[in-house]
Amino acid sequence: MARGDSVFVCKACGAIQAKWAGQCPACQEWNTLAEEAPAAPVARGAPSAAASGRKAGKLEFVPLDGVEPAPPRRRTGIGEFDRVLGGGVVPASAVLIGGDPGIGKSTLLLQAAASLARAGAEVAYISGEESAGQIQDRARRLGAISAPVKLAAETHVRDIIAGLKIAAPDVAIIDSVQTLWSDAVDSPPGSLMQVRAAAQDLVRFAKKSGTAIMLVGHVTKDGQIAGPKVIEHMVDSVLYFEGERGHQFRILRAVKNRFGAADEIGVFDMGESGLREVTNPSALFLGPQGARASGAAVFAGIEGSRPVLVEVQALA
């Protein structure tokens, strides 16, 4: 039974309802309402921005036909990752990367962080799930221990942003957004309101500071990124890291990208020393070279901007 001081927030659209229902009245999605503590009300008589003497910011407009330069790119040094991002990391952008537990999200981002740092970029890696020692152990296994990456273990959003303001990195990796919490929200870490507030603060910091933020997100049983759907609208790019634990191949897929194609994929091979790029994914789906067996045919498909050849064999 729900408490009288609770509200129910839709994970799909963010709508707030006073009572639980199987279907969200706002977006018509099923089984998306989750119980949350309500936000603290604003005290009656609290001074507004005008009454407190704070001046409103000046809004500057630009013409629609104005010529703006294309956003610069910072290549990670991992070709398949850069392909999915649209050519590299864009400053002041926010990227959300989701995937199943143990699929290799942290490994991919640590390899990208090491490659960026070796190329001269200032990179910060902040983990809310592992200690700095655990990340260092993984870096030794990946051969990235010598890369000048700044590590930290923290979950408080205010402390993270304060540290990033001092370090002023070019790229900051946050692993993961579901572990963060803000003292401005009266909910436990991982709740819808906490995830939304943490993502909103970090995206706002990225836009104001010019630091590119990469957020790691957990996924649900349905394969969707856990938390309110509004997070995917906040960020510039949404990537999914897919694969089967019993197989070594991984696919990084873009489902949203404001700076590139939204259907691009990158293919990786997971090994003992980390992820290795697969530049020719067609070789994964073709049989041995030579004469084709009877009943075998090769199908040519397109994934993003790359052609992929797949061999189809009929059962006798």
At 155-183, the pLDDT tens digits run 999 999 999 999 999 999 999 999 999 98
Whether the pLDDT of residue 251 is over 80: the answer is yes
| Residue 1 CB contacts under 8 Å (≥ 6 apart), including other chains | none
Please, are residues 30 and 23 in contact by the beta-carbon 8 Å criterion? yes
Name which residue leads in pLDDT, 13 or 271: 271
Pairing of strands 274-277, 265-271: antiparallel
> Do 239 and 306 belong to one domain?
no
At 86, list the tokens. 């649209």
> How many separate domains does the chain show?
3
> Do 237 and 297 belong to one domain?
no
Highest mean pLDDT, choosing among 3-12, 185-194, 256-265: 256-265
> Do 91 and 218 belong to one domain?
yes
Structural domain includes residue 45: no
pTM of the complete model: 0.83
| pLDDT given for residue 12 in this prediction | 72
> Do 148 and 258 belong to one domain?
yes
- The H or E element containing residue 87 is none
**How far is Cα 96 from Cα 51, in angstroms, rounded to an integer?**
38
> Do 298 and 269 belong to one domain?
no
| pLDDT given for residue 45 in this prediction | 54
User: pLDDT band at residue 2, thresholds of 50, 70 and 90?
Assistant: very low
| pLDDT given for residue 1 in this prediction | 38
Structural domain includes residue 302: yes
- Of the chain, the percentage scoring pLDDT greater than 70 comes to 90
**How far is Cα 164 from Cα 90, in angstroms, rounded to an integer?**
17
**How far is Cα 187 from Cα 38, in angstroms, rounded to an integer?**
8
- 89, β-bridge pairs: 74
Which residue range(s) make up the domain with 214?
79-277
Structural domain includes residue 30: yes
Name which residue leads in pLDDT, 54 or 113: 113
> Do 112 and 246 belong to one domain?
yes
> Do 127 and 208 belong to one domain?
yes
How is 105-144 classified by DSSP, letter by letter? HHHHHHHHHHHHHHTT--EEEEESSS-HHHHHHHHHHHT-
User: pLDDT band at residue 64, thresholds of 50, 70 and 90?
Assistant: confident
User: pLDDT band at residue 220, thresholds of 50, 70 and 90?
Assistant: confident
Name which residue leads in pLDDT, 11 or 113: 113
Pairing of strands 249-257, 237-243: antiparallel
> Do 20 and 153 belong to one domain?
no
> Do 135 and 96 belong to one domain?
yes
Span 241-248, mean pLDDT? 84
> Do 83 and 2 belong to one domain?
no
> Do 207 and 237 belong to one domain?
yes
Give the end-to-end CA distance of the chain in Å, rounded to a whole number. Answer: 58
